[in-house]
Amino acid sequence: MTDFIHRFEPATNAGSPPLLLLHGTGGDENDLLGLGKMISPGSALLSPRGRVLEHGMPRFFRRLAEGVFDEEDLRRRARELGEFVADARKQYDIAAPVAVGFSNGANIAAALLLLKPDVLAGAILLRAMVPLSDPPKPELGGKPVLLLSGQADPIVPASNSAELAASLSEAGARVDHKVLPAGHQLSQADVTLARNWIVTVDAKAA
């Protein structure tokens, strides 16, 4: 298996979609397990640790400055993460997961949707930005995406998250974009919206 330190928790409800949990800068493989359980109790949880270090803090890809990504590295790391998910699906016998990504994790999840669309069944993108300045034009075929942005987010401008929503919609994703009265950190509203959304997605898939 591609060398990601990770945690895996098997499903306790066979009907719940597996989740790929992707932490923010400075998080690790344990960071979003609690969030995953709140969003979709009973789902299998696959949670890798980012392999890039920034001042000792794990991330999923390099950046040149806040909000300025090393896009060559991002493309390479997205390929590696896609290979890891493919290997993990075989090892743990799970379906294509729904990504739940926060901040840096949401950005690589968005990149995965654009670069390796077959890897994910859908995504919950929490405080995501446009990952690539010249993205490919994949066919996302109605893949469900929930994009939750913070109205007072000092890192992600409103225009940027709107551009991401438009880009994913144009690629064929079924995007639900909500702007919350919040900053960059997560709120209870994020959890509630994500939990309600994933139930509707699961029902459509059933």
- Cβ-proximal residues to 89 (8 Å cutoff; 6+ apart), any chain: 95, 96, 97
Q: Is 70 assigned a catalytic role?
A: no
Question: Which 3 state secondary structure label does DSSP give 170?
Answer: helix
Helices (H), the chain: 33-39, 71-92, 104-115, 158-170, 188-205
**All domains of the chain, ordered by start, with CATH?**
6-205 (3.40.50.1820)
Strand bridging mode 57-59 / 68-69: unpaired
Cα–Cα distance for residue pair 144/141, rounded to 1 Å: 9
Q: Is 153 assigned a catalytic role?
A: yes
Nearest to 153 by CA among 113, 188, 195, 182: 182
Nearest to 14 by CA among 88, 94, 100, 122: 94
The active-site residue out of 103, 149, 161, 167 is 103
Tokens matching residue 8:
């895996």
pLDDT, tens digit (0-9, with 9 covering 90-100), for 39-57? 999 999 999 999 999 999 9
The answer to whether the beta carbons of residues 6 and 44 sit under 8 Å apart is: no
The active-site residue out of 31, 153, 190, 202 is 153
Question: Which 3 state secondary structure label does DSSP give 147?
Answer: strand
Q: State residue 2's pLDDT score.
A: 58
Phi/psi zone of residue 140: left (φ > 0), alpha (ψ -120 to 50 degrees), beta? alpha
pTM: 0.96
Cα–Cα distance for residue pair 36/52, rounded to 1 Å: 23
Q: Is 167 assigned a catalytic role?
A: no
Give residue for tokens 């609690």.
34
Give residue for tokens 């995406």.
145
pLDDT band at 3 (very low <50, low <70, confident <90, very high): confident
**Rounded to an integer, what is the distance from CA 149 to the centroid of its chain?**
13
Longest dimension (CA), the chain: 44
How does DSSP classify residue 67? T
The active-site residue out of 70, 176, 177, 184 is 184
pLDDT, tens digit (0-9, with 9 covering 90-100), for 107-127? 999 999 999 999 999 999 999
pLDDT band at 204 (very low <50, low <70, confident <90, very high): low
